[in-house]
Structure 1
Amino acid sequence: MMYGTDGCMWGGWGWSGWILMGAVMVLSSAALITAVVLAVRYLTDSNAQRNRADSASSSKSEDALAQRFARGDIDEDEFRRRLTLLREHQESR
């Protein structure tokens, strides 16, 4: 049988069994909550890095276009037209 000498099931741990069970429940709950928080942070950080990379590439394109305008390679109308096209292309992604 599984009864201890005092008639309790599993040897009768008394208060120490309850304390141990409570500690295990608290620790497992903390581990689960930590795992969920870390997963959410990882997923949102991945999206943020992707968005930063997209905005960095668009600013590089706009900087290159601004430099061409500053050097006089293109006139103001051409600069504005190309800048509008760049921004429309970035919005459609």
Structure 2
Amino acid sequence: MMWGWGGNIGIGGWIAMGLMMLLVWGGIATLVVLLLRGNHSGGRGLQGPPDDSERILNERFARGEIDETELAARRAALRRRQ
């Protein structure tokens, strides 16, 4: 007996091998995509989008909560911090 060498694995074996190959290649593709996405952060690292704080400032200015000089001062402070 040859212990599987040249033997017939049947349709179930072929289906299992095909599914395993899909899982392997899908995992590799997922890793590549995640690695490429991580490198396109624009040089900002893990800080997150800076426009969120500026958006809040703009909304407060639009509602009349702060005036133009305070808006400019806070915006300048945010940009110095980043």
Is TM more than 0.5 here?
no
Q: Given the two structures, how large is their TM-score scaled by the length of structure 1?
A: 0.41
Structure label with greater radius of gyration: 1
| Structure with greater helix share of residues | 1
Q: Given the two structures, how large is their TM-score scaled by the length of structure 2?
A: 0.44
